[in-house]
Amino acid sequence: MSERPFPPVAWLSTAALAMVVAGGVVMASYAPRRPPLALPTALMVASVLSLAAAWIALSRHCPFAWGTFRRVFRWALLAYVISAGMIEFAFVRDHTRGAPLLVVSCLLVVFATSVPTTIAVTTARYADD
């Protein structure tokens, strides 16, 4: 067993997703009123840090099936960008403006990248590339 242990990339990206969902629930529960932004902003920052840590840990892991990762990540990203776009549309349609819309948009960017990261890492971890 001289193989390096795999970093907790899927755990970190899933933690980022959980924080984004919690922040999104808080934001949605106030629509169309103006929500307090402290908790959703803190969750957004923590989720960005968690996702960044996942990407940094993944970039330092060798060897890794990057071809498989990119292939799976691209298609999953397409699906989740469409989903995030529909959620963004719902908030815009509910007349969310200004700082609340910015926080929701940032949460959705993390949402649209954390799930594809988890899917692609889980797939590529055991692939021969």
Q: Are 23 and 43 in contact (CB under 8 A)?
A: yes
Torsion of the alpha carbons at 50, 54, 60 and 62, rounded to the nearest 10 = 160
Q: How confident is the model at residue 4 (pLDDT cuts 50, 70, 90)?
A: low
pLDDT in tens, 27-78: 889 877 888 999 999 999 999 999 999 999 999 988 889 999 999 999 999 9
Is residue 2 helix, strand or coil? coil
Cα–chain-centroid distance for residue 32? Answer: 24
- E strands, 1-129, where? none
pLDDT digits (tens, 9 = 90+) for 68-84: 999 999 999 999 999 99
Distance CA 129, CA 127 (A): 6
C-alpha angle 15/95/113, rounded to 5°?
Answer: 25
Closest C-alpha among 51, 37, 28, 26 to residue 109? 51
